[in-house]
Amino acid sequence: MTIRNKAYIAGAWEHPTRHAPDTTIPQLHAECAAGALADAGLSLSDVDGYFCAGDAPGSGGMSMIDYLGLKVRHTDSTETGGSSYILHVSHAAQAIAAGKCSVALITLAGRPRSENFNAFRGGGPEEPFERWTGAATHNGYGMCAMRHMHEYGTTSEQLAWIKVAASHHAQHNPNALLQDVVTVEDVVNSPVISDPLHRLDCCVVTDGGGALLVVSPEVARSLKRPLVAVRGAAEAVKTLSGGVGLDLTVSAAARSGPQAFAEAGAAPSDIKYVSLYDSFTITVLMQLEDLGFCAKGEGGRFVADGNLISGVGKLPFNTDGGGLCNNHPTHRGGITKVIEAVRQLRGEAHPAVQVANCDLALVNGIGGMLATRHTAGTLILERQ
């Protein structure tokens, strides 16, 4: 069953806080829900589907359903880390197409900055053997970056251009945690965190959240909001495969991307804007290659010289500043990628970063550990 044009994103809202020491996680979820509902022109009584991940209190989000006073007939609590909320949009579209619900609310909230959140561990069978060595998320991404450099000659300066692009966009976002424009030199001269990744190659840690409303075509047409259709979606998983044939330079997006493009009837050359999960600069570079925006090994040259900067390069990305500069409220921060894509398609992004004639956008999330097992979720969204 295809979900092409079977569902629309009618509401999108990002919480403006980056530090909420006196606000509970349920409160953040509720505030995000209220913001998205107001954006769509709907109320809690209209919601008949609820989607969340592990950040929502209560088993499978039941506590949030109770807290919000929802009367739902469909729920989904898929948990895949950073790709969770990309998958939720896809799953909501599938549920709507199947008649399971007509107004799906998706919420994310977290307080990692207030709670001194530590690096996420996937909890796999190898973890007891790695923890004592100090293995952490950064190390896995550092391995991918080092291998990419070895295989293809990618440089730290090329990776730095990804952070530079994000900072050029964040300067126009009053809510971004980091609003100063940085240079390639700033990035490569910042302290090394996990060789070859520097501190400015890493995402920020913030409190905050966001919410989305995915609705049926009938509901979408009744609202006075721009129509943003879910045109294609796919998900994929990459595992260790026992360590046999493991390629650290390829992500699961190499599988989810082509499937999403096929459903959408589109190609990478059709995309005007991309929202990419940017836990680290190497994450972005690998996604660009795996999604077909450039050949494998060409990512370093593709991102150099500002090619990702809106108004300068040919493929603007993460125009809110992304996880590298704006926010990253839990290791499931993919919802903000969808929110900024919706802004771009509606023409509601900041004028300094709004992409001209933006009618087709791609969102991709990565969840888990890039160097080992992880998931990818790809969405292609269209302004109609």
Q: Measured between alpha carbons, how far apart are the two ends of the chain, in Å?
A: 21
Look at residues 102, 339, 354, 343 and name the one whose alpha carbon lies nearest to residue 226.
Answer: 343
pLDDT digits (tens, 9 = 90+) for 264-309: 999 999 999 999 999 999 999 999 999 999 999 999 999 999 999 9
> Which residues pair with residue 376 across a beta bridge?
236, 366
Give 89-130 pLDDT, tens digit per residue: 999 999 999 999 999 999 999 898 888 754 444 455 555 555
Calpha distance 30→13 (Å, rounded): 12
Structural domain boundaries of the chain?
8-116+203-383
Chain segment 147-172, per-residue pLDDT in tens: 999 999 999 999 999 999 999 999 99
- Closest residue by Cα to residue 311 from 342, 270, 357, 266: 357
Q: pLDDT value at position 20?
A: 87
pTM, two decimal places: 0.94
Count of Cβ atoms closer than 10 Å to residue 280 Cβ: 29
CATH number of 8-116+203-383: 3.40.47.10
| 134 has a pLDDT exceeding 50 | no
